[in-house]
Amino acid sequence: MSQPPQYENAGIRFRYPENWRIVEEPADGLSETVFAQSPGSGFWMLQHFPAQQEANDLTENLLQTLRSEYGEIEVEESQQTVLDVDLTGHDLHFFCMDMVVVARTRHFSLGNRCCLLLCQAEDREFSDLELVFDAITTSLISETQDLS
C-alpha cells in the first residue's frame, strides 16, 4: 500500500490525502501559511511563526478576524494533546451563506516555531473530515519533530 502524499517546505512536513490539494501563500516575513484543501468545503490551514510570537494572541487575532468576516460566532474553548504536544484554542460554529460552518483553531509550539492551525468545513462535512484533520495534524507533529 502506498503512502499518502507528503508536503515538505520550510522545515514543515506532513502527509495529506491524495485527493486534496496543497496551496501555499507567499511568506510575509512574519509567517508562512499552507492549506490542505479537501475536494469539498473543508480545509486544514497551518500558519507558522518564529517562536517568539505570543501564541494566545494568534488565536485571539484569528477569532477576531473570523468574527469580522462572519459576524456572530459560537465559541467554546478547547484543548487537546497530540503526541505529547498541547494544542489550545477554540471550537467554533457560525453561519455562512445559510450553511452552518464548524471550525477549530489551535495554537501550539513545534520545535522552534509557534503554529496556528485552522480546520474548517460545512457542518455535515466536518463530521466526516474531523478524523482526516486529526491525521494531518498528527502527521505534522510527528514528521516535523523528526526533522529537528
Instruction: Identify the residue whose cell numbers are 504536544.
Output: 85
Residue 145: the pLDDT is 64
- Please tell me the pTM assigned to this model: 0.88
From residue 141, give the alpha-carbon distance in Å to each of 14, 51, 87, 144: 8, 15, 11, 5
Tens of pLDDT, residue by residue over 76-130, are: 999 999 999 999 999 988 887 778 889 999 989 888 888 999 999 998 899 999 9
CATH code for residues 6-147? 3.40.1000.10
pLDDT of residue 147: 54
pLDDT score recorded for residue 56? 66
The span from the CA of 139 to the CA of 121, in Å, is 20
Residue 34: the pLDDT is 95
Structural contact between residues 94 and 120, judged by C-beta atoms closer than 8 angstroms: no
Q: Give the model's pLDDT for residue 55.
A: 63
Give percent helix, percent strand, percent coil of the chain, each to the nearest 5: 30, 50, 25
Residue 53 pLDDT > 70: no
40-45 average pLDDT score: 94
